[in-house]
């Protein structure tokens, strides 16, 4: 059946197009990394994500919020309820006291992660008008995904001699225009890992990327596991239905 | 008894209802014994698939709407909350978002099937036009749905597309302000889009009903494009096509599930995970993939009004196809030249799809122009002229003859339209 064959090819072409479209968009390409969470069976490397949480809290949290995430979400990367309670309790979040006056109280696991700035204007005022974006879905909000974030964090370097950087701008190989308002957040030994892992820039960049990939898609492992079951079930149903179809049609052909 | 329908159902409850409101008789007639050409191929699944898809969209949409907040300051966050806090909210949203893409894949194939086998020809012209109306309604619905998550592409897509109306002389700017409910895309726009996004799918259900009602008057076309001549050419819809459609639905669900569970954002645009910001214009504003061919046509014309007219014309011309195509033969199987040109048209659409996603410069503009030119040439010149000159291959005498000739199997014919009623009602 000519139509069916060619139509199938056309459908594949249609599916392939967005890739082509995105590839053409940015001049930047991001060398791909191996991620524990990629592929249909990928899961988050718990140890890396926990280290990444440490990097986020000790470094990125000074400037970036992850306002859609809750402290309880840390359960998904292997922290116990006790640990989460302690982490939350160490953070003061805005609240209202009995007289209706603004106050602060220790956070609970059910609270959203606290944001470093009360609002966008306050953040922009600090960074010459640049805005450190919320990182809750940053992995999904960049066409290059995890590879883009990793390379950005590890991509700081000396600017080429002929390049004039703007005021308060830093050279980065993996940022559009190669000038970014974020000072290099990572440097060797910037954090001290409890598990003894050496805190190189690349290591921290990998870890925090893993953590933010989890924060962007906390449902990912459940989704993929369910997906495997659903697809296997549907393949089985296709077989059964096709057999039934053959049987019903047996008297026609 | 006077006034009661004579029901043939035995079950007393069904009989009681059916005598007063013969919906069971109707279902039996339209979906049970309905005489259907016996030679459908799997391309005839796509109508049923579109039906299933519409139901999925409405079902997931209603549950999304329970948790969604149509307000410029809250819409983005409420979608994230659906993804994180609503039980299986991520599933609802990913099914709905990818369901939009699946819907267009299915409907585009359904439409191409119609073009290939000449399903729009007398007596199915109105059926075809209702199909074009469905396509337009789907586009309006999907466009407004894409605005709801209020990301950067939502906002800027809405801005670019609504701005097209400003191309109309004199009234253009008034129309745009009226559409927006203000002087830019803003909360008022989001609210009306939500309201209409909820409404239009139900209008769609109504038009789909008419589409199917018209189908059941004329009966289906088939891969040979020749009319049914008698019961030997048909099979009762049930069980033959209920089971064949079920096979198609299973395969369709596999493709759907692969997208939803393993690549839920593959067909989307990363920028739509950035909250809408009227002060920052994205580097490239692109619509959803299923609008890219039309977007390419729009941008292939240097003049804004011309582009807008051509874009709407590209759908309008579809509605005229029953009269533009002058060939008496329906199926491309028996039209050696049309058969090739059909694939040239598909290629032109594929080229437009690719060009729509590229920046409008250099080679992409040239390619869009060539493909746009072919698109209109195909419908406005080739179809009318070809019908007069093309020499069709000899048509088979009847469907049953053709089927038996290549199927090889003899065997007793099941009684066609006169076959047994459904075992259970
Ligand atoms: C013809 C059927 C429909 C189509 C083609 C359609 C299409 C879409 C699309 C493309 C989106 C954007 C998805 C995203 O990127 O997040 C969307 C969102 C949405 N739709 Fe629909 N839709 C349909 C029916 C419905 C119905 C019947 C309802 C409600 C009863 C509904 C409610 C919503 C809501 C609340 C959203 C926002 C949530 C979100 O963005 O995920 N939709 N729709």
Q: What is A115-148 written as a DSSP string?
A: PSSSSHHHHHHHTTT------TTTTTSSTTHHHH
- Chain B: closest CA distance from residue A14 (Å): 7
Closest CA to A64 of A9, A110, A128, A120: A120
Assigned domain for A99 exists: no
Would the CB atoms of B116 and A3 count as touching at under 8 Å? yes
Chain B CB within 8 Å of residue A11 CB: yes
pLDDT above 70 for B38: yes
Instruction: Decide if A98 is inside a domain.
Output: no
Cβ under 8 Å to B: A residues 23-52:
24-26, 40
Q: Give me the count of residues in chain A.
A: 253
Q: Give the pair of three-digit tokens for residue B28.
A: 């039996």
ipTM for the predicted complex comes to 0.91
Q: What pLDDT does residue A19 have?
A: 44
**pLDDT at position B416, please?**
41
Whether the pLDDT of residue B412 is over 50: the answer is no
pTM of the model: 0.92
Within a domain: A41: yes
Do the domain assignments include residue A105? no
Whether A80 is covered by a domain: the verdict is no
Range of the domain at A125: 2-69+112-248
A97 part of a folded domain: no
Q: How far is CA A97 from the centre of its chain?
A: 35
Long-range contacts of A228-237 (CB under 8 A, 24+ apart): A228/A40, A228/A41, A228/B261, A230/B257, A230/B261, A231/B254, A231/B257, A231/B258, A231/B261, A234/B250, A234/B253, A234/B254, A234/B257, A235/B254, A237/B250
On average, the pLDDT of chain B sits at 94
Nearest CA in chain B to A24: B358
A120-124, B141-145, B209-213: which has the minimum mean pLDDT? A120-124
Q: Is B117 in the pocket of ligand 1 (CB under 6 A)?
A: no
pLDDT at residue B119, as a whole number: 97
Q: Is residue A217 part of a domain?
A: yes
Residue A170: enclosing H or E segment and its boundaries?
strand A170-171
Collapsed DSSP state (helix, strand, coil) of residue B151:
strand
CATH of the domain at A199: 1.10.760.10
Q: Is residue A51 part of a domain?
A: yes
Q: What is the pLDDT of residues A118-177, one digit of tens each?
A: 999 999 999 889 999 999 999 999 999 999 999 999 999 999 999 999 888 999 999 999
pLDDT digits (tens, 9 = 90+) for B75-86: 999 999 999 999
Question: How far apart are alpha carbons B127 and A125 in whole angstroms?
Answer: 61
Q: Quote the longest CA-to-CA distance of chain B.
A: 77
Number of structural domains (chain A) is: 1
Which residues in chain B have their CB less than 8 angstroms from residue A27's CB?
none
Burial per residue of A234-245, b for 16 or more beta-carbon CB atoms within 10 angstroms, e otherwise: beebbeebbeeb
Q: What is the b/e burial string over B284-310, where b = at least 16 CB atoms within 10 angstroms of the residue's CB?
A: bbbbbbbbbbbbbbbbbbeebeebbbb
């Amino acid at each position: 059946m000519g139509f069916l064959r060619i139509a199938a090819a056309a459908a594949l072409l249609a599916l392939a197009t967005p890739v082509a479209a995105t590839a053409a968009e940015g001049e930047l390409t991001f060398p791909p990394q191996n991620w524990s969470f990629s592929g249909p069976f990928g899961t988050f490397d718990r140890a890396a994500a926990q280290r990444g949480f440490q990097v986020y809290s000790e470094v990125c949290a000074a400037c970036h919020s992850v306002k859609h995430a809750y402290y309880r979400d840390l359960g998904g990367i292997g922290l116990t309820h006790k640990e989460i309670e302690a982490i939350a309790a160490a953070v003061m979040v805005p609240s209202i006291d009995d007289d209706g006056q603004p106050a602060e109280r220790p956070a609970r696991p059910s609270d959203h992660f606290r944001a470093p700035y009360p609002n966008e204007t306050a953040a922009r005022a600090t960074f010459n008008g640049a805005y450190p974006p919320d990182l809750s879905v940053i992995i999904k909000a960049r066409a290059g995904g995890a590879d883009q974030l990793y390379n950005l964090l590890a991509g700081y370097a000396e600017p080429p001699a002929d390049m004039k950087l703007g005021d308060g701008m830093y050279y980065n190989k993996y940022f559009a225009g190669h000038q970014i308002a974020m000072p290099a957040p990572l440097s060797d030994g910037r954090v001290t890992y409890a598990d003894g892992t050496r805190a190189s820039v690349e290591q921290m960049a990998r870890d925090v990327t893993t953590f933010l990939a989890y924060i962007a898609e906390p449902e990912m492992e459940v989704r993929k596991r369910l997906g495997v079951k659903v697809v296997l079930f549907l393949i089985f149903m296709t077989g059964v239905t096709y057999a039934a179809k053959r049987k019903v049609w047996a008297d026609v052909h | 008894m006077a006034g009661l329908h004579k029901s043939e159902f035995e079950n007393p409850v069904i009989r009681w209802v059916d005598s007063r409101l013969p919906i069971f008789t109707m279902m039996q007639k339209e979906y049970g014994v309905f005489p259907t050409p016996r030679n459908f191929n799997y391309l005839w699944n796509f109508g049923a698939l579109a039906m299933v898809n519409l139901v999925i969209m409405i079902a997931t949409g209603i549950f999304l709407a329970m948790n969604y907040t149509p307000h410029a300051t809250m819409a983005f966050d409420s979608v994230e909350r659906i993804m994180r806090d609503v039980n299986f909210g991520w599933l609802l949203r990913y099914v709905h978002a990818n369901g939009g893409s699946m819907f267009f894949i299915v409907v585009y194939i359904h439409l191409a099937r119609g073009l290939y086998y000449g399903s729009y020809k007398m007596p199915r012209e109105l059926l075809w036009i209702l199909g074009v109306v469905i396509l337009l309604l789907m586009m309006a619905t999907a466009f407004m749905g894409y605005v709801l998550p209020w990301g950067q592409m939502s906002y800027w897509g809405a801005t670019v597309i609504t701005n097209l109306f400003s191309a109309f002389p004199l009234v253009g700017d008034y129309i745009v302000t009226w559409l927006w409910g203000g002087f830019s895309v803003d909360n008022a726009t989001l609210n009306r889009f939500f309201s209409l996004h909820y409404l239009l799918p139900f209008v769609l259900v109504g038009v789909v009903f008419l589409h199917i009602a018209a189908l059941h008057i004329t009966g289906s076309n088939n891969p040979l494009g020749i009319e049914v001549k008698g019961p030997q050419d048909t099979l009762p819809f049930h069980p033959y096509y209920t089971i064949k459609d079920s096979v198609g639905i299973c395969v369709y669900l596999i493709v759907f599930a692969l997208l939803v569970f393993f690549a839920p954002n593959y067909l989307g645009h990363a920028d739509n995970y950035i909250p809408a910001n009227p002060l920052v214009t994205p580097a490239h504003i692109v619509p959803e993939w299923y609008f890219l061919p039309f977007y390419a046509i729009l941008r292939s014309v240097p003049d804004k009004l011309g582009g807008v007219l051509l874009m709407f014309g590209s759908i309008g011309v579809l509605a005229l196809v029953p009269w533009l195509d002058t060939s008496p033969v329906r199926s491309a199987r028996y039209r050696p030249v049309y058969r090739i040109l059909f694939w040239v048209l598909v290629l032109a659409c594929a080229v437009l799809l690719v060009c729509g996603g590229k920046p409008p410069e250099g080679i992409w503009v040239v390619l869009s122009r060539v493909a746009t030119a072919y698109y209109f040439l195909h419908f406005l010149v080739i179809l009318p002229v070809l019908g007069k000159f093309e020499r069709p291959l000899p048509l088979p005498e009847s469907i049953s003859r053709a089927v038996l000739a290549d199927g090889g199997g003899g065997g007793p014919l099941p009684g066609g339209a006169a076959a047994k009623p459904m075992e259970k009602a």
